[in-house]
Every structure is written in C-alpha cells, then in structure tokens.
Amino acid sequence: MQKRATFDPRQKSVLTLLKKVRPFQELNDDELSIIAGILRKEQYEKNEIVVRQGESGSSVYIVINGEFSLSIMDRQVTSFRSGDSFGEIALIDAHPRMGSVYATRSSALFSLDGKDLNDEKRVPASVSKKIYLGFARMISSYLREGSTLYDDMDVLLVQDGGCAPGYNPVTAFITEYLTKQGSEVFIAAEGFKSLVSNLSRDYRYLVHNQDSYKKIEHIPGVIFSPPLREARGANFRSERFPEFVQPGIQKTAAANIIQRKVKILIGIGGNGTFAGINALSKLLPKSVKTYFIPVTIDSDISGSDCIGEYTGVEVGAEKIRCYMADSRTHNRIYMIEMMGRRGGFHALYSCLGAGAHLAVLPSSNYDLKALCQALGKRKDGVIVVAEGYKAEIRAKKKYKGNAAEFFRDELIAAGLKTEQRIVCEGYSRDVRGAAPNNLDIMLAQRMARKLLHLINTGKNRQMPAVLSGKEYAISFDKIVTDNTVTSELASLANRLLKL
C-alpha cells in the first residue's frame, strides 16, 4: 500500500534530482528549493497503482528511485526511472488520465500538486510560470516526437489506391471483430507512404469500445471506429504512392514494420494495393501474417466480389439514366466515359443496369461503319465508353482527349452523319465518394468475418473472397488482378446492332 514518507527538502540530493527534470532545468537553486518545499514523497511496493486510467487528477510525479510503468488500455507502453516525470497533462487541463501507472518494483517518487503550485503564498508567480512553460514545452515535444503507443502494433491496416465506397466500412468491421477477441488495431494514416515515413504521426489507433475511447480520446491519433461503418470514401489513404514499386523503398517499409513489432498486416484496396502488400509479404518474416481485402469499384480482383463495386454500379447506372432522360428530351447523343481501365466491369454493369444503348470496353472491336449507320437513324442515344478503351493507341498518338472523345472521333472518321448534337462527357470521379450501399456494407462484414477465421486458423498470405454467395479464400499466389468481363455479357450492352 502506498506510504507517505518524510524527507528533508534542503538535502543536496533533492536539488540534484530536480535538476534532471526537464521542466525544472531553467530554475536556479533558490527556485528549486521553493519547489522542493511543496513536494510530497511517496513510496510504492511492486504492482501498486499510482494513477489509474480514466481518473482525474491534478498532480505531476517525479521518480526518485525504482521503476514505474505506463499502460494504456492494459498495454505496457513505457517505463519511468529516476529523474523522469509523468502526469504532466494534469497540470495543464482536467482531462482524465490517459493511462495507468504502477510500480514494477519497490519504488519512490515525489508528487507535485497543481493546487500547491498555484498558491502564490508558497510559490511566486514568476516561478510557477517558468514551471508551466517548461511542462508545456515538454508536452508539445511529445506531440512532435510521437507517442510510444505506436511502438508495438498488434494489427496494422494499410489502405491505398483510388478511393472507393467501402474502405471505411470494412475498416470498422475488422476493428470490431479483432478487438472483441483481444487484438489491438492500428492503421497507416496515408497508406504505403506512412510505412516509409514511419513517424508516430503516420499511424492511428482504432478503438471500437465507446467506454475505452472516452478514456483516451484526448490522445493524438486515437479514432473511434464505429462511425466508419457507413462513412463515405477512405479516411486513411494516400493519393497513390507510385514510388512504392521501387525495391529499396519496399525494403525500408518492411524494416519499419518489423521495428514496430507488427504481427498482422492487412492491405485494403485494389490491384495496386495488392501488388504492394504482396511484395511486402515476401520481405517480412513468417511471424508477420499478411492478408488482403479487395475494395475497388471496377472489380479489378478476379475470383471474388469486391467491396465498392455494388455502390459503384448503382451510382453509375443512375448517372446514365439521367443522361438518357436528357438525350430523349433534347434529341442528343451522349458518349460518357466511365471507370474501366482494363476489364471494363464498372462501365459494362452500369450500362446494363441503366439500359444504355452501347458499352464500349477496352476489349471492344465494333464495326464502326455499322454503328455509324445505326446512330444516323436515331434521335437520341447514350453510349458508355470505358476509360481504358484503346488506351495504348491514344498514348502513342498523344491524344489529349478522353476515351469518349476518342471513340466519337473514330466514328466521325468512319463516316458518322447525324443531325443530333453529340456530347462527350469525361469520367466523373464523384462515384468514388458515394455512400456505401447495403450490399457493400454486408460484403464488408462478410469479408471481415472471413478474415477473422483466416487469422484464427493461422493462415498466411490469404485474401477473403465471396462469390455467388459462397465464402472462401484465395492464396496470394493465385490472385489475378486483371479482371475481365465475358463477351457474352458484353453483347447484352449492345442495343444498336444485332446480337
């Protein structure tokens, strides 16, 4: 049990100890003697608690001898020894204690109560001002240098690639399921870029339990995860990081992951994100398990439904319907560029859902003269052109327009004659920020649950997959990232020519 102990504040050893404390280093001996006069000496046996997480307090503590340990959320974060101080934030504001501190062996410390420090009868205002400034500098240096909270990360999530509906929901469900079984979940603030930078501010701590969050919400980087379940976009990613393809940069990231003691690494994204996680998995020891969750509007991971594709098609089809209504009203022909760099999934399925007149995919090879004749007879029409249509040819020609404009120019060169106004619309990125619909939220839950099973059964380098209602897993070595669409399905999106 904690015991109060007597001491002589005039002892040289007391002043020598106080000079080690960073906020006191600008005080002269007379000022240090004033501070020594308001200190209380306390002794603790092994495992005795000094401060408890979530409780309020107004004292700062200075270690005399022995050792004290700080734990946050029942997790040992750092230790304090002679000359170290802790509890500084309590002097500045009334936030609950961010963690618990206990003695790891028989130890002693001085306590300095904020009430005594503010008593001008005992401490001149000029002295207390110096001390407050010293502690303020110390706290701000913690923020600059980072928190030891991120020195030992149990589970680390990495989002990267183009934004898509579903990044946030699957992050929330992974956090919920893993924390309920005792794991701690962290996330890179800016995808692969953060793994390379590797400062503490490059990471966030995800908390699912509300009571736990309230105790540590004031700590920089702590995020309450449940609101992410229905949130738009991707809160923790970079606008791609092309430099990550370099082997040297990948090795740096792998070394940083090992340094942070990561046990489970989970990539979330599309084909580019998978390439990065796959490369990292080959550089990490077998003790670090790696997994991947497919989140991509254009369904560019084969063998599974991808989180985000359902919302993408729903929003894409609705956009097309609006163009179709306008084309009928004003007798126009719209050519709309939509997502679809390789297979053209998004462009095709959006076209089919809306009932547009033609889908032009990266693999399409239509009879342009026959299309010219069909369009010449129409008063209206909507053609969906995937962004990847003849991308290599456009690049070689240094064509400056979009895919829809290129297809229009091809038709004109093939003899297109129509009295209708042809309007080409470039790819609109607003679909990336759409609110995830129920199907994608459900898919996120299923992927997170399957991931939990893979982790608990000791699997490594695996991707949860859901296809035709069935849940299974795909090994990294068997993942195909060039998802294609069948010609039979593509033919359904041709309402201008005979099937």
251 and 240 together in one domain: yes
Q: Among 122, 145, 168, which residue terminates a domain?
A: 145
Least confident segment among 56-60, 311-315, 372-376: 56-60
Question: Where are the extended beta strands (E) located within 216-302?
Answer: 222-224, 264-269, 289-294
What is the spatial distance between Cα 67 and Cα 61, in angstroms, rounded to a whole number? 12
pLDDT in tens, 258-291: 999 999 999 999 999 999 999 999 999 999 999 9
Taking a C-beta distance cutoff of 8 angstroms, is the pair 460, 435 a contact? no
Q: What global pTM score does this model have?
A: 0.78
335 and 440 together in one domain: no
Taking a C-beta distance cutoff of 8 angstroms, is the pair 215, 53 a contact? yes
Has residue 210 got a pLDDT over 90?
no
429 and 440 together in one domain: no
Percent of the chain with pLDDT strictly greater than 70: 96
Provide the CATH number for the domain around residue 107. Answer: 2.60.120.10
What is the spatial distance between Cα 96 and Cα 94, in angstroms, rounded to a whole number? 6
Structural domain including 255 reads 150-307+436-467
The alpha helices in 331-459, defined as continuous H runs, are 345-354, 368-376, 391-397, 403-413, 438-456
Residue 392 lies in a domain: yes
Has residue 82 got a pLDDT over 60?
yes
In this prediction, residue 245 carries a pLDDT of 92
In this prediction, residue 1 carries a pLDDT of 60
Average pLDDT along the chain? 90
164 and 262 together in one domain: yes
DSSP 369: H
Domain count, the chain: 3
What is the three-class DSSP state of 425?
A: strand
Can you tell me the mean pLDDT for 145-162?
83
Of residues 211, 220, 215, 224, the one with CA closest to residue 172 = 224
Least confident segment among 38-47, 156-165, 229-238: 229-238
Helix (H) or strand (E) holding 102: strand 100-103
What sign for the dihedral angle of Cα 282, 285, 286, 290?
negative
23 and 88 together in one domain: yes
Taking a C-beta distance cutoff of 8 angstroms, is the pair 439, 164 a contact? no
Can you tell me the mean pLDDT for 413-423?
92
Has residue 57 got a pLDDT over 90?
no
Taking a C-beta distance cutoff of 8 angstroms, is the pair 111, 61 a contact? yes
What is the spatial distance between Cα 47 and Cα 347, in angstroms, rounded to a whole number? 63
- Taking every pair of C-alpha atoms in the chain, what is the biggest distance, in angstroms? 103
Least confident segment among 138-142, 147-151, 234-238, 435-439: 138-142
Predicted confidence band of residue 146 (pLDDT cuts 50, 70, 90): very low
299 and 340 together in one domain: no
Taking a C-beta distance cutoff of 8 angstroms, is the pair 245, 277 a contact? no
Can you tell me the mean pLDDT for 133-150?
69
